[in-house]
């Protein structure tokens, strides 16, 4: 035993015996070194104990802004981390010098001491500095005291040594510097834990931290938060915290609720709060300039960027140790070992270095991805917040489609960037280290290698510039296409009614062709880039070996394979350069677009609204000599010289002709229209009801409550006041019925009344109602006016825009508007006597009301329902069982392992299999060529019969041949991607345009938009390369394993079980990962949906001052989407780390085989080849798995596109064998026979056996209360819904037997919701360009729009922006009339077409329709009874059935006539206008 101890001591010291005298007299003695190593071990043991204590203890929750590191911690981490790394470098350098000069590692003391000390110092320094606040207080203080004592001892000893030897070495300098490092650690330990004490007491108890939404932001009792938040250091390093989720995924299909929430620091709210805080600090520093968003984002995350950078550095250093170890290995194989067990030490070192490399790379990637998630969350939140405040001028430059694109595409691309950021410098560093290693191996020939690398990079520069240019063009083209697609999808019903789908689809296809042109250009540049960098190792080796020949540098196995191994290690980072460049370019382009949006002008509403104080003021609205203008530079403001005072309890009506500025006045009071001059003050809370109903996806109850708490009594009263109780009885789930997007499953009247209920429930001070009665029938309008406006709002200030003259006498004041000015403001009778314009308006109403026809008809009693009855029926309803299905289904996603199905779907497109096979085959030949190259070198490098020239020429010829196959592979990838994208887009767009309306009714727009934006973008740009790289990287990994196994076949005993284990691990991983990525896809739609809805309803959101609630909801949805993505990439790292450990085992086993077997078993050339392939096994395996996972994640986009590529389509557009004559319909006779309609299978029947005939040329009026089925009947006529039973025959042809395009293009319609498209006036009237300008001007004259269009400078080329928002609602309806006049159909349908038009204009229009369509069949659905008074026949409907069908006068004479009741209701409040 004693002998053994002496041997060990000799190996360590190079001398025998322990001397106390030497220990005391000589500070650098061997005894001293041994003592320092023991100290290091004690420190490491204490740290491990501290970390284990931490992971098992429960830490107090500290609010997120205190999770960051202080400046002291950062300085300590930097100093101690650098000291540790410098010690490690010094140790490696001492070892390397020993081997070079003496060919031995003995004695161990100098290099072993330095390495162990370096490892201990870096580990302890970084752990205590960064994690001090999360570690238990007592152990961390003890650890820092020990470290300080130890550093003091080492510092004293080294100073003594320097004094004795009279020289200062690097080690002495480092030892002295470790004392200030330890002092910083001590300060960190005490300050950090002191901070914990303060934060425990103050922060948690005194509530210094208030989150955005005003709620306690701490993690709630029942919240299921990710284990990552509580994980200790070892737990984080090994990804052990992810095990429970992986286990759950292997046992069952993961659902949304199984995914834990993000820890608080990573949530959108925290990220955005930090961002705002730093942005404010920058503004305070320099108030004159705009703070840099990029700088702010970097400042938010610089600590995480720094830590991930340290891991990246460690990875590069450990990776670079590989070729040095290989060099030593070949020397050992040639019998030149330095000491007895050097081979074993090298094999063990190889295993350890590969594991450290794996650990550091996994942490680098994981932390970088986490930064990416936080940046994406932050930007999405910032974009959402911005669109809530965007000014109307800015909206012209940023359409809703573009805003959607900023979130779904641009923020996504920027979120990808942090993952690639460190690769921008690590690749350069790796190349520099590689050049140093090469300089040792091939001496001056390194210069040739350097020149080859520089040439490769220089060749890439013009390509990168071009790629940047093309990427910008591609993004712009993508925006244009998305804008058009969004518009078409939103207005699909209108497109179908007008039979314009084909035209709009062609417009989108044309825009897509432009996009494809730039896509092809971008992908080709990427292909050239890829080829250049994949071929660069061939170029570098050609240059280097050529230089070796001419410079007569001797080639031996050790220097050739050190060179090959170095080249193999840097070729993967070099190959990723095109990806890095691509990502940097995409991120830069995306960032510029987002910055432009974030810096767009905002609405200035601050000075308009003030809190309501009933004691100090009695004015609710006070406007003095004000001018308002939508655009700053307009010569004539939109509203001019406005003077208005409204007091609480006062009712003000606003009336005037179409386009006179009524709605604009309400928007000006809301602060939506910029004030040019004058003053405006608004006191109190506002409730606003817009002219176009804005309804959110969700339940009716949610829409009414609109964020307010439920008050049962007030809610019940609200429903009664808004006449909604009866409607809820008919809905399958009452007020808990899910409403489709934009309220598709509600009638126009129901939508409007839900809006009114929302306003009333808010109990505001000022009510701004923009023509709320236009979409409801006369009875409901009267009921709403009396119960809602006059009773419920009796004490409120009300401004009501209306065209219904009947209600005007009840108002305190009436504003008569014309051309943006208030002509007069006075009570009804005063205005009637003093204003000719107002008299014309009232007279027009009387004429249309048809009073002369009612003279002989006796009045009937009104059949109302008492409030008590309503209440009782509602209460009864609460106990009824619900029936039917909810309309909006949960978003569909594939479940479980779909295997190769999505890949087949992708490759099935346009010769996909052919291009893919070509690419894969080319890559296989490339790999085979590389192996041939290296085998030739391994077999002949030390063969004296093969001269150097022949050796090099054969090597290079094989290399050049392999490059040609690389080029073929690059072209195959581009062809595969381009053709597949074209085919998938074409099928998707065809499917969407041919889908029935029921699909759009039940599918939120966000789901479709996320597919045509982000999923399509992934299919276009990412999938082809990801797929080919997955195949290529897998072939590389198999080649590496194969070479290792062939040369050292004994390693198969280890590698076969390892490969089996790897496949099992991958299968285990995929069960969880695929579901996580699918859920990531579906939750992405939630963010897109919420954004689309908010953009559409932003005026209402601002009016109710609900921005904060919507923003909070948006933050929640961002987190719901970020969590599956976070766990998905964490799972990726979890898998790769385990696979890398397995591959390190294979490599170490191969190394042990070489050491254990007799020295002559392998030639040194083949040992070099085996190890050079083995060293890159880790990296190639990582690249293989990474690319497979990336491809598997990306292919989910194909899965998602595929879900909407095969939507069951409508009937054919054209049935060739059954086309009607060009003149059909020539009479216009419509026969409806026993028509039955249900919207979906299993849904209740909506039309119940309707039978009637509309004679050709007759004017038919369809009347009935709200929800009676009037609009459904029109839908059936246009076949938006196919009949369940019965049929409709038009001029002898059953409409279900002909093509939809033939049917719809022959009918004219003016739809219920007037729709305008982005473009010009001409395009909106005649998108198919079938008419001349003269015809269009004629039509504009007939529909009262000529003057409005002539006023604009561009005339017919005047701009129509998103949704036609720069034209009033009435003008939009006039445009729709213009379309009908241009089409000149034999059958014209008016679906409540004049609801938003004043009576005078309505009268002119009715005359126009009577004149222009004199011999046509005109079917009018109306709420305004006068509209149908001069009809030939009236069809009265109730509850989906025909109640009566006869001439209007005949019906009015019948006592029990529904039509008679409706007329009398209308006439009774019309008479009340006179009697008042």
The whole-angstrom separation of Cα 565 and Cα 563 is 6
| Residue reference for tokens 């290698």 | 449
Q: What does the pLDDT average to over 218-244? A: 76
Residue 364's pLDDT is what? 92
Structure-token match 């004199």, residue found: 1414
Structure tokens, 1349? 């269009």
- Give the span between the Cα atoms of 255 and 1438, in whole angstroms: 44
Q: Which ranges of 132-169 does DSSP label H, i.e. alpha helix?
A: 137-165
Residue 1151 contacts residue 1117 (beta carbons within 8 Å): no
Residues near 433 by Cβ (< 8 Å), separated by ≥ 6? Answer: 316, 317, 320
Give the pLDDT band (50/70/90) at residue 924: very high
Alpha-carbon span 659 to 1400, nearest angstrom: 13
898 vs 195, higher pLDDT: 898
The answer to which of 184-198, 627-641, 1294-1308, 1381-1395 has the lowest mean pLDDT is: 184-198
Q: Are 1273 and 1247 in contact (CB under 8 A)?
A: yes
Q: What pTM does this model have?
A: 0.68
CA distance 958 to 964: 10
**pLDDT digits 0-9 by tens, 1160-1185:** 666 666 776 777 776 677 677 777 87
User: What pLDDT, on the 0 to 100 scale, is given for residue 855?
Assistant: 36
The SS3 of residue 18 is: coil
pLDDT band per the 50, 70, 90 thresholds, residue 367? very high
pLDDT score recorded for residue 1424: 67
Residues 1415-1470 pLDDT 10s: 888 888 876 677 777 788 888 888 888 888 888 888 888 888 888 877 777 666 55
Question: In which element (H, E) is residue 1054 found?
Answer: helix 1052-1096
288: helix, coil or strand? coil
pLDDT (mean) for 568-579: 70
pLDDT at 295 over 80: yes
Q: Could you tell me the CA-to-CA distances from 920 to 462, 982, 1034 in Å, in that order?
A: 29, 22, 11
The two beta strands, 686-689 and 821-826, are unpaired
Buried b (16+ CB within 10 A) or exposed e, 164-185: eeeeeeebbebbbbbbebbbbb
Given pLDDT bands bounded at 50, 70 and 90, which one contains residue 1126? very high
d(C-alpha 335, C-alpha 626), whole Å: 98
Q: Which of 25-34, 41-50, 290-299, 501-510 has the highest mean pLDDT?
A: 501-510
Q: Which long-range contacts (CB under 8 A, 24 or more apart) does 1119-1122 make?
A: 1119/261, 1119/262, 1119/267, 1119/268, 1119/269, 1119/377, 1120/256, 1120/1083, 1120/1086, 1121/1080, 1121/1083, 1121/1084, 1121/1086, 1121/1087, 1122/262, 1122/266, 1122/267, 1122/268, 1122/373, 1122/376, 1122/377
* Angle subtended by helix axes 1164-1175 and 1023-1047, to nearest 10: 150
pLDDT for 856 equals 36
DSSP E strands in 1351-1448: the ranges are 1359-1360, 1387-1391, 1417-1421, 1433-1438, 1441-1446
Tell me the β-bridge partners of 1360.
Answer: 1319
On whether the CB atoms of residues 865 and 783 are closer than 8 A, the answer is no
How far is 1409 from 1099, CA to CA, in rounded Å? 35
Please compute Rg for the chain using Cα positions: 39
Which pLDDT band, with edges at 50, 70 and 90, does 853 fall under?
Answer: very low
Q: What is the mean pLDDT of the chain?
A: 79
> What pLDDT is attached to residue 860?
31
**Distance between CA atoms of residues 1308 and 1224, nearest Å:** 13
**Order of strands across the sheet with 609-610?**
609-610, 675-683, 621-628, 639-646
Outline where DSSP puts E strands in 1422-1474. 1433-1438, 1441-1446
DSSP state at residue 1242 = T
Which 3-state string (H, E, C) describes 753-766? Answer: HHHHHHHHHCCCCE
651-656 and 813-818 as β-strands: parallel, antiparallel, unpaired?
A: parallel
What mean pLDDT comes out for the span 665-673?
Answer: 87
- Tokens 């209360």, residue located: 1265
Identify the pLDDT of residue 890. Answer: 57
Token code pair at residue 20? 């106390």
The 8 Å CB, 24+ separation contacts for 589-593 are 589/413, 589/468, 589/471, 589/472, 589/475, 590/409, 590/410, 590/411, 590/413, 590/414, 590/475, 591/294, 591/410, 591/414, 593/406, 593/410, 593/475
Average pLDDT over residues 931-946: 78
Neighbour-count burial for 1254-1286, b at 16+ CB within 10 Å, e otherwise: bebbbbbbbbbbbbbbbbbbbbbbbbbbebeeb
pLDDT band at 65 (very low <50, low <70, confident <90, very high): very low
**Cα 986 to the chain's mean position, in Å?**
23
Taking the C-alpha atoms of residue 551 and residue 220, their distance in angstroms, rounded to an integer, is 72
Span 812-852, pLDDT tens digits: 899 888 888 888 888 888 888 888 888 877 777 666 554 43
Helix boundaries (H) for 858-911: 867-878, 901-907
Q: Is the pLDDT of residue 461 over 90?
A: no
What pLDDT shows up at residue 836?
82
- The pLDDT of 980-991, averaged and rounded, is 91
Distances from the Cα of 1432 to the Cα of 96, 1006, 1288, 1450, angstroms: 105, 45, 20, 11
Task: State which H helix or E strand residue 621 sits in.
Answer: strand 621-628
Measured between alpha carbons, how far is 1145 from 350 in angstroms, rounded to an integer? Answer: 10
**Between 975 and 557, where is the model more confident?**
975
Q: Tell me the range of 58-62, 175-179, 505-509, 1163-1167 where mean pLDDT is highest.
A: 505-509
Q: What share of the chain is helix, strand, coil (3-state, %, to 5)?
A: 65, 10, 25
Helix 912-940 and helix 1164-1175: axis angle, to 10°?
Answer: 140
Instruction: Say how far apart CA 203 and CA 196 lie, in whole Å.
Output: 10
Answer yes or no: are the C-beta atoms of 1164 and 333 closer than 8 Å: yes
Over residues 1064-1088, the pLDDT tens digits come to 888 888 888 888 888 887 888 788 8
Element (H, E) at 768: strand 766-770
Residue with tokens 């794996």: 358
| Cα gap 170→82, rounded to integer Å | 14
Asked whether 84 and 122 are in contact (CB, 8 A), the reply is yes
Q: How many CB atoms lie within 10 A of CB 1393?
A: 26
Lowest mean pLDDT among 307-316, 579-588, 737-746: 737-746
Give the per-residue pLDDT at 508: 92
Average pLDDT on 99-111 reads 68
Token representation of residue 548: 């070796």
Query: Is the pLDDT assigned to residue 925 strictly greater than 90?
Result: yes
């Amino acid at each position: 035993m004693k002998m053994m101890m002496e041997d060990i001591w000799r190996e360590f010291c190079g001398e025998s015996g322990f001397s106390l005298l030497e220990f005391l007299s000589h500070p650098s003695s061997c005894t001293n070194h041994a003592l320092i190593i023991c100290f290091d071990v004690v420190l490491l043991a204490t740290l491990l104990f501290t970390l284990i204590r931490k992971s098992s203890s429960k830490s107090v929750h500290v609010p997120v802004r205190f999770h960051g590191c202080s400046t002291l911690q950062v300085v300590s981490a930097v100093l101690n981390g650098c000291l540790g790394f410098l010690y490690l470098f010094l140790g490696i350098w001492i070892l390397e010098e020993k081997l070079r000069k003496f060919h031995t590692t003995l004695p161990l003391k100098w290099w072993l001491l330095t390495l162990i000390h370096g490892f201990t110092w870096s580990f302890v320094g970084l752990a205590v500095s960064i994690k001090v606040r999360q570690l238990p207080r007592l152990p961390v203080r003890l650890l820092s005291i020990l470290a300080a004592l130890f550093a003091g001892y080492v510092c004293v000893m080294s100073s003594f040594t320097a004094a004795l030897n009279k020289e200062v070495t690097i080690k002495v300098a480092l030892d002295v510097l470790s004392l200030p490092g330890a002092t910083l650690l001590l300060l960190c330990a005490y300050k950090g834990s002191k901070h914990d004490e303060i934060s425990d007491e103050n922060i948690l108890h005194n509530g210094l931290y208030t989150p955005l939404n005003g709620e306690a932001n701490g993690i709630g009792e029942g919240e299921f938060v990710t284990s990552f938040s509580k994980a200790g250091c070892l737990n984080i390093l090994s990804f052990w915290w992810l095990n429970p989720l992986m286990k759950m995924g292997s046992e069952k299909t993961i659902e949304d609720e199984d995914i834990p929430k993000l820890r608080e620091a990573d949530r959108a709210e925290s990220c955005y709060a930090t961002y705002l805080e730093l942005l404010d600090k920058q503004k305070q520093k320099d108030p004159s300039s705009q703070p840099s968003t990029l700088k702010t984002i970097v400042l938010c995350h610089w600590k995480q960027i720094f830590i991930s950078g340290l891991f990246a550095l460690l990875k590069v250093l450990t990776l670079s140790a590989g070729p040095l170890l290989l060099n030593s290995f070949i020397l050992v194989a040639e019998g030149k070992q330095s000491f007895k067990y050097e081979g074993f030490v090298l094999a063990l070192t190889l295993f350890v270095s590969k594991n450290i490399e794996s650990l550091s790379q996994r942490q680098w990637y994981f932390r970088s991805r986490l930064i990416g998630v936080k940046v994406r969350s932050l930007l999405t939140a910032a974009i959402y917040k911005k669109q809530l405040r965007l000014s109307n001028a800015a909206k012209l430059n940023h359409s809703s489609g573009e805003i959607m694109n900023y979130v779904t595409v641009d923020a996504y691309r920027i979120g990808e960037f942090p993952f690639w950021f460190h690769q921008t410098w690590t690749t350069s560093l790796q190349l520099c280290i590689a050049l140093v290693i090469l300089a040792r191996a091939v001496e001056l020939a390194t210069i040739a290698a350097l020149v080859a690398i520089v040439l490769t990079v220089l060749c890439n520069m013009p390509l990168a510039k071009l790629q940047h240019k093309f990427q910008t063009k591609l993004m712009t083209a993508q925006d244009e296409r998305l804008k058009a697609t969004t518009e078409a999808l939103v207005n699909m019903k209108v497109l179908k009614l007008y039979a314009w789908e084909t035209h709009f689809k062609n417009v989108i296809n044309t825009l897509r062709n432009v996009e494809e042109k730039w896509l092809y250009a971008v992908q080709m540049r990427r292909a050239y880039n890829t080829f250049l960098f994949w071929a660069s190792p061939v170029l570098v080796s050609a240059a280097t070996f050529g230089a070796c020949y001419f410079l007569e540098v001797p080639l031996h196995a050790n220097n050739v394979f050190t060179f090959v191994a170095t080249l193999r290690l840097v070729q993967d980072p070099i190959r990723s350069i095109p990806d890095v460049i691509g990502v940097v370019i995409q991120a830069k382009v995306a960032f510029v677009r987002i910055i432009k949006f974030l810096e767009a002008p905002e609405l200035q509403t601050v000075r308009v609204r003030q809190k309501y104080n009933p004691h100090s003021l009695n004015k609710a609205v006070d406007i003095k000599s004000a001018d308002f203008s939508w655009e700053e530079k307009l010569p004539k403001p939109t509203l001019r010289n406005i003077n208005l005072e409204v007091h609480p309890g006062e009712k003000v009506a606003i009336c005037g002709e179409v386009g006179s500025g009524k709605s604009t006045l309400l928007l000006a009071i809301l602060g939506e229209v910029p004030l040019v001059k004058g003053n405006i003050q608004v006191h109190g809370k506002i409730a606003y009801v817009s002219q176009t109903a804005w309804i959110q996806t969700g339940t009716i109850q949610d829409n009414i409550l609109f964020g307010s708490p439920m008050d049962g009594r007030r809610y019940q009263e609200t429903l009664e006041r808004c006449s909604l109780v009866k409607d809820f009885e008919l809905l399958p789930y009452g007020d808990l019925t899910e409403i489709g997007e934009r309220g598709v499953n509600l009638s126009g009247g129901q939508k409007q009344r839900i809006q009114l209920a929302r306003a009333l429930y808010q109990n505001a001070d000022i009510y701004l109602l923009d023509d709320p009665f236009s979409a409801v029938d006369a009875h409901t309008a009267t009921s709403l006016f009396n119960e809602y406006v006059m009773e419920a709002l009796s004490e409120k200030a009300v401004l009501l825009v209306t065209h219904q003259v009947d209600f005007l006498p009840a108002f305190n004041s009436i504003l008569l508007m014309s051309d943006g000015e208030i002509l007069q403001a006075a009570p009804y009778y005063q205005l009637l006597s003093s204003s000719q314009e107002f008299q014309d308006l009232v007279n027009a109403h009387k004429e249309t009301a048809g009073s002369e026809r009612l003279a002989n008809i006796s009045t009937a009693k009104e059949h109302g329902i008492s409030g008590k009855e309503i209440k009782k029926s509602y209460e009864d309803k609460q106990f009824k069982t619900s029936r039917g299905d909810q309309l909006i289904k949960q978003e569909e996603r594939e479940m479980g392992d779909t295997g190769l199905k999505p890949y087949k779907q992708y490759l099935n497109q346009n010769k996909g299999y052919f291009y893919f096979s070509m690419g894969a085959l080319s890559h296989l030949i490339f790999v085979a060529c590389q192996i041939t190259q290296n085998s030739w070198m391994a077999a002949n490098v030390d063969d004296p019969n093969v001269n150097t020239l022949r050796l090099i020429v054969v090597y290079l010829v094989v290399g050049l041949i392999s490059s040609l196959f690389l080029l073929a592979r690059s072209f195959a990838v581009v062809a595969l991607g381009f053709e597949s994208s074209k085919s998938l887009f074409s099928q998707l767009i065809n499917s969407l345009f041919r889908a029935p309306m029921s699909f759009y009714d039940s599918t939120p727009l966000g789901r479709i938009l996320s597919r045509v934006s982000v999923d399509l973008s992934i299919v276009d740009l990412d999938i082809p390369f990801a797929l080919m790289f997955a195949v290529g990287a897998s072939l590389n990994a198999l080649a590496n394993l194969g070479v290792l196994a062939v040369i050292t076949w004994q390693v198969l005993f280890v590698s076969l079980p390892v490969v089996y284990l790897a496949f099992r691990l991958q299968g285990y991983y995929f069960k969880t990962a695929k579901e996580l990525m699918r859920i990531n896809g579906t939750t992405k739609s939630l963010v897109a949906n919420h954004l689309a809805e908010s953009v559409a309803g932003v005026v209402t959101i601002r009016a109710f001052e609900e921005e904060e609630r919507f923003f909070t909801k948006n933050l929640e949805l961002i987190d719901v989407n970020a969590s599956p993505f976070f766990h998905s990439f964490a799972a990726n790292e979890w898998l790769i780390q385990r696979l890398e450990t397995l591959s390190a085992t294979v490599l170490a086993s191969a190394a042990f085989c070489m050491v254990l077997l007799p020295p002559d078993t392998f030639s040194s050339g083949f040992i070099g080849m085996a190890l050079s392939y083995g060293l890159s096994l880790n990296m190639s395996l990582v690249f293989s798995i990474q690319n497979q996972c990336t491809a598997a994640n990306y292919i989910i986009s194909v899965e998602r596109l595929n879900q909407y590529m095969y939507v069951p389509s409508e009937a054919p557009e054209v049935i060739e064998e059954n086309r009607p004559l060009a003149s059909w319909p020539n009479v216009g006779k419509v026969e409806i026979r026993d028509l039955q309609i249900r919207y979906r299978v299993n849904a209740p029947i909506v039309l119940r056996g309707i039978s009637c005939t509309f004679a050709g040329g007759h004017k038919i009026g369809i009347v009935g209360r709200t929800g009676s089925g009037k609009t459904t009947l029109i839908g059936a006529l246009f076949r938006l819904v196919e009949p369940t039973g019965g049929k409709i025959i038009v001029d002898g042809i059953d409409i279900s037997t002909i093509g939809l395009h033939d049917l719809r293009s022959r009918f004219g319609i003016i739809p219920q919701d007037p729709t305008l498209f982005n473009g010009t006036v001409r395009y909106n009237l005649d998108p198919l360009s079938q008419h001349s300008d003269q015809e269009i001007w004629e039509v504009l004259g007939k529909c009262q729009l000529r003057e409005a269009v002539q006023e604009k400078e561009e005339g017919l080329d005047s701009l129509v922006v998103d949704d036609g928002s720069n034209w009033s609602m009435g003008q939009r309806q006039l445009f729709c009339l213009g379309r009908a006049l241009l089409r000149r159909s034999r059958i014209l349908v008016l679906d409540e077409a004049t609801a938003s038009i004043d009576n005078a204009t309505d009268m002119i229009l009715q005359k126009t329709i009577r004149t222009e369509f004199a011999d046509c069949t005109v079917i009018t659905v109306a709420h305004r009874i006068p509209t149908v008074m001069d009809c030939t026949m009236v069809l009265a409907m109730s509850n989906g059935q025909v109640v009566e069908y006869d001439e209007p006068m005949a019906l009015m004479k019948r006592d029990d006539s529904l039509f008679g009741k409706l007329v009398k209701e209308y006439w009774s409040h019309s008479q009340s206008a006179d009697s008042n």
